[in-house]
């Protein structure tokens, strides 16, 4: 299990880095949007390329940050019932949900989106809008984004199993205390287990 937890640390670090880098795309999208609107109303001219670039940036933020969002436990949940359950029951729900729903869904979308990207890349697919952009850069975001989500899903399942085995502290503390808090390093072994 130690090797799996080390791999989880690498996956967590990867999605943390990607998430922090992609933050900047939000600022870029805002600047491009404001600049495009200013030019359109000031000079009565515009470009579909700038509008499509905003869509590409939004797509990048949404898709590339899916794994980061899962790492931070910020995906939407329905806590009406599970919020009242014990940490162990919540952990089992996360494991079953990850294995039966999250991972199969993300793997299928990643698999099916690859040929869509390849087709756009091979045929140099362009936007149908006048002055639009080439399409493959935005289409490659789907397999990459879902690959990052699959990696993070595996990491979260492994960490929850390790928690149930008593190897690490709860990587997903009950709501109210730890929801949304950045994980310091949930994979650190408790002090009394370091020598084991």
**pLDDT per residue over 109-139, tens digit each?**
999 999 999 999 999 999 888 888 999 999 9
Lowest-confidence pick of 39-43, 45-49, 141-145: 45-49
Closest CA to 162 of 48, 12, 2: 2
Residue 193 lies in a domain: no
- The number of distinct structural domains making up the chain is 1
Instruction: Write down the pTM of the prediction.
Output: 0.83
Q: Label residue 187 by pLDDT band (50, 70, 90).
A: low
Residue 190 lies in a domain: no
Residue 192 lies in a domain: no
Residue 58 lies in a domain: yes
Q: List residues bridging with 134 in a β-sheet.
A: 126
Closest CA to 146 of 184, 117, 180: 117
Angle at CA of residue 3, ends 192 and 160, nearest 5°? 65
Residue 68 lies in a domain: yes
Confidence (pLDDT) at 193: 46
Residue 194 lies in a domain: no
Q: Could you tell me if 82 and 93 are in contact, meaning their C-beta atoms sit under 8 angstroms apart?
A: yes
- What is the C-alpha to C-alpha distance for residues 145 and 61, in angstroms, rounded to an integer? 9
Residue labelled with tokens 């499509």? 52
- What is the C-alpha to C-alpha distance for residues 147 and 172, in angstroms, rounded to an integer? 22
Q: Treating both helix axes as pointing N-terminal to C-terminal, what angle do 87-97 and 141-164 enclose, rounded to 10 degrees?
A: 140
Closest CA to 5 of 165, 182, 192: 165
Domain of residue 16 covers 2-75+85-182
- What is the C-alpha to C-alpha distance for residues 146 and 126, in angstroms, rounded to an integer? 23
Tokens for 95, please give them.
Answer: 């494991």
């Amino acid at each position: 299990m130690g090797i799996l937890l080390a791999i989880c640390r690498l996956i967590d670090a990867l999605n943390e880095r990607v998430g922090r880098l992609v933050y900047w795309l939000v600022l870029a999208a805002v600047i491009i949007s404001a600049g495009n609107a200013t030019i359109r109303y000031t000079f009565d001219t515009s470009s579909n390329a700038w509008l499509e670039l905003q869509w590409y940036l939004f797509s990048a933020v949404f898709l590339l940050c899916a794994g980061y969002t899962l790492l931070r436990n910020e995906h939407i949940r329905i806590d009406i019932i599970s919020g009242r359950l014990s940490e162990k029951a919540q952990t089992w729900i996360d494991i079953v949900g990850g294995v039966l729903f999250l991972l199969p869904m993300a793997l299928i979308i990643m698999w099916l989106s690859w040929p869509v990207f390849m087709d756009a890349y091979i045929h140099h697919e362009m936007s149908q809008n006048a002055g639009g952009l080439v399409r493959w850069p935005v289409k490659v975001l789907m397999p990459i984004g879902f690959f990052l989500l699959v990696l993070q899903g595996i990491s979260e399942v492994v960490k929850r199993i390790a928690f149930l085995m008593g190897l690490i502290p709860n990587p997903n503390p009950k709501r109210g205390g730890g929801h949304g808090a950045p994980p310091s390093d949930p994979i650190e072994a408790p002090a009394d287990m370091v020598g084991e």
